[in-house]
Each structure stands twice: as C-alpha cells, then as structure tokens.
Amino acid sequence: MRAVVLVGGEGTRLRPLTLTAPKQMLPIVEQPMIERVIGHLARHGIDDAVLSLGYRPDAFMNAYPGGNIAGVRMSYAVEPTPLDTAGAIRFAAGHADVDDTFLVVNGDVLTDSDISALIAFHRQSGAEATISLTPVDDPSAFGVVPTDPEGRVEAFIEKPPRDEAPTNLINAGTYVFEPSVLDRIPEGRRVSIERETFQALVEARTLFALGSDAYWLDTGTPDAYLRAHRDLLMGIRPGPPAPGAELDPSLGSGVWRIGEVDVQSTKATRSLFGSGATVAAGTVVEESVIGAGAVIEEGASVIGSVLLPGARVASRATVEGSVIGPGAIVGQRCVIHPLSVIGAGAVTASGTIIDGQRVAEGV
C-alpha cells in the first residue's frame, strides 16, 4: 500500500527552531522526526510514499536526494500554494498517480498505532474512509469523534465541555482512504478535511473510525517536543532511544551514548550523549539529550532539556526544561527556565535570565 505523508506546515509553534528547518526535519533523540514517522510505516508494509511539501521543500530533497527514507521509496509533491489538509492530500495523491486504497499520515505525529489493524478494519467494514482515533484526558481542547457500535462516525464535535463530551476519542491523524475520497475534494483551493471532506463522508455514512490506546504524540509545541525525547529516554517507548545508541553505565545510571563521547561529569543520569559530545567535570546532566558535537562546560547544569547538535552551554550556566538549537550558545552564568527555545546559532549574553521565551538571535 502507498501513503501520503503531510509535511507542508510551517511549524509556527516551534519557532524559532523552524525558521531554519521544517519541523519534521528536527531530530527526536538524534534521528530526524520524518525518519521515525516513515520507519513506522515501513514496519507495517508501506513501501512507497509521497511527501506533501509546502514549507522549505528543499530541506527534504537535499537530505534524501535518492528518494528513500527509512527503506521507503519517496516522491515529492510541492504545493504551489497552501491547500489545507484535504487539498494537500488531493494534490499529492494526484501528483503520485494514486489509484488504489492508500494511507494518509501527519508527518509531525509520533505513534505506535497498529496501522495493519486499521487497514484490516477499513477493508472489513467496507468503508470509503477510515480514521484512527486516540483517547485524551481532557477532550474539551479537541474535536471528539463519536461512533456507533459498528465504528461508523456519527459526528465531529468541536471542543465540547469536558462533562458533556460523548467520548474522549479524538482524530489521531492517520487515515485509510479509497480513491473515491479524492473526488470529494475540490481541486485547486484550500479544503478542510474535518469541516468539508469528513462531513460529507459522515452524511454519506461511509466514514468509519477505529480507536487505539497505542502511544500517540503531536510534537507541534515545545512541551510536546521535549516530551517526545523524554518518553524515549524513560522507556515509555521501548527499545533504544535512537539508532546506534548503547547503554553505558560507566557514564551514569540510565545513560546512553552514540559513538565516541567525552563525558567527564560524574553527575549524569537518564540521558543520551550524541557522537562527539563533550561534557566537562563538575557538570550536572539529568534526563536530557545532548546532541552530536554539543559542549557543556564546567559547572553547568542541563536538566530535562535538549541540546541540538553543536550547541554549547558555557560554564556555570543552567538550562532547565528547554530546547537549545543547533550551534546556539548559552553564555556563562545564564539561566534558561522551562519551555524556553533558543534558535539555531543564537547567542545569549553572560548572566542573562530567559524565562519561557523564544530567542531567535543574540540577546
């Protein structure tokens, strides 16, 4: 089966990181997000896919010039103008000459859902389209999707009060479509998949859904991006947190490394050090990912954070619950409080305090 992978968004909630790279090219524990998404498809027999591109398409084409990601053959469809979700699906599927049952996934969602089971349910039910659903604790922040006993979607209810929601299941962003769905999508304009396409399918009684309790995470915010790393480090998602990662008890409890690293700290726990990372003595590193070639100088602390490749934390600085972009420098004695995002190449002056801010340039 073939797949359409949606990666056209600008990733505004993750700026300034996405000013220099598409969201799906950002690493999740030293592996580009898109490789994790496509790798999951490959494990369920998907061997051919088309990337629906909009924002910075060259980043994908340059990174994968051979048209292969995680063992899946890729083609690229670049939207001439933003077409919204349904419009992008029609454009990409048409570009790739999709003419049989196909899969659609969002390129910024990490999940362990059973795609094979979703496809089997779709075929068994005789649906025109089938969507995967995932449970949430508070459905009032989402659109919930009630179904009848056979799994037929009855409605899309946008952000119901928590005590009035008929279900806690929301759209998980993975779909199985028959080619006839494409005929329901107007060509050449923005088309909302939930408000237009799915609504038409509900009225036709040909839209079904299947719930799943599998791991699911929309990585679109700084908090979620950090959580994606933490879940891998903490073993919430089983297995090594990244390709080539090895547990190295000599570096600390629950510490992983990729390749050769220089870690002098005796206070490293539940973290991962990428190839060529350098960590001085007298530092504290807890529940963090220290990217390839990143440097932490003497007396600094990095807790619950992500240093992207080539980032540097100067002596006696503190980084907590934040993301430091590639090549960025946190100056001496700086304090970076939770949910701050320091963009690629940014430099923070010595002694600066940054509290939940997004920094694109030097301060």
Whether residues 16 and 58 share a domain: the answer is yes
Whether residues 207 and 295 share a domain: the answer is no
Whether residues 168 and 271 share a domain: the answer is no
Whether residues 232 and 257 share a domain: the answer is yes
| 56: its two tokens | 């910075």
Domain boundary among 183, 218, 253: 218
The CATH code of the domain that includes 9 is 3.90.550.10
pLDDT score, position 262 = 96
Whether residues 226 and 205 share a domain: the answer is no
Contacts of residues 282-291 at CB distance under 8 Å and 24 or more positions apart, as own/partner, are 285/252, 287/230, 287/233, 287/234, 289/29, 289/30, 289/229, 289/233, 291/27, 291/30, 291/326
Whether residues 78 and 120 share a domain: the answer is yes
Whether residues 205 and 331 share a domain: the answer is no
Domain boundary among 218, 235, 269: 218
Domain boundary among 148, 183, 218: 218
Helices (H) and strands (E) in the chain, counts: 7, 32
Whether residues 126 and 250 share a domain: the answer is no
Whether residues 269 and 204 share a domain: the answer is no
pLDDT score, position 143 = 80
Look at strands 216-218 and 109-111 and give their pairing. antiparallel
pLDDT score, position 363 = 67
Q: Do 78 and 53 contact (CB within 8 A), yes or no?
A: yes
Q: Specify the number of domains making up the chain.
A: 2
Whether residues 101 and 129 share a domain: the answer is yes
The CATH code of the domain that includes 292 is 2.160.10.10
| 342: its two tokens | 């320091």
pLDDT along the chain (363 residues), means of 10: 92 92 95 96 94 92 90 92 92 92 95 96 96 90 88 87 84 95 92 92 95 94 96 89 94 96 94 97 97 97 98 98 97 96 94 92 72
Whether residues 211 and 262 share a domain: the answer is no
Whether residues 336 and 267 share a domain: the answer is yes
| 97: its two tokens | 């000459």
Domain that holds residue 130: 2-218
CA 277 – CA 336 distance, rounded (Å): 20
The count of C-alpha atoms lying within 13 angstroms of the C-alpha of 256, restricted to the half-sphere facing its C-beta, is: 27
pLDDT score, position 9 = 86
Write out the H or E segment, with its range, that includes residue 210: strand 207-211
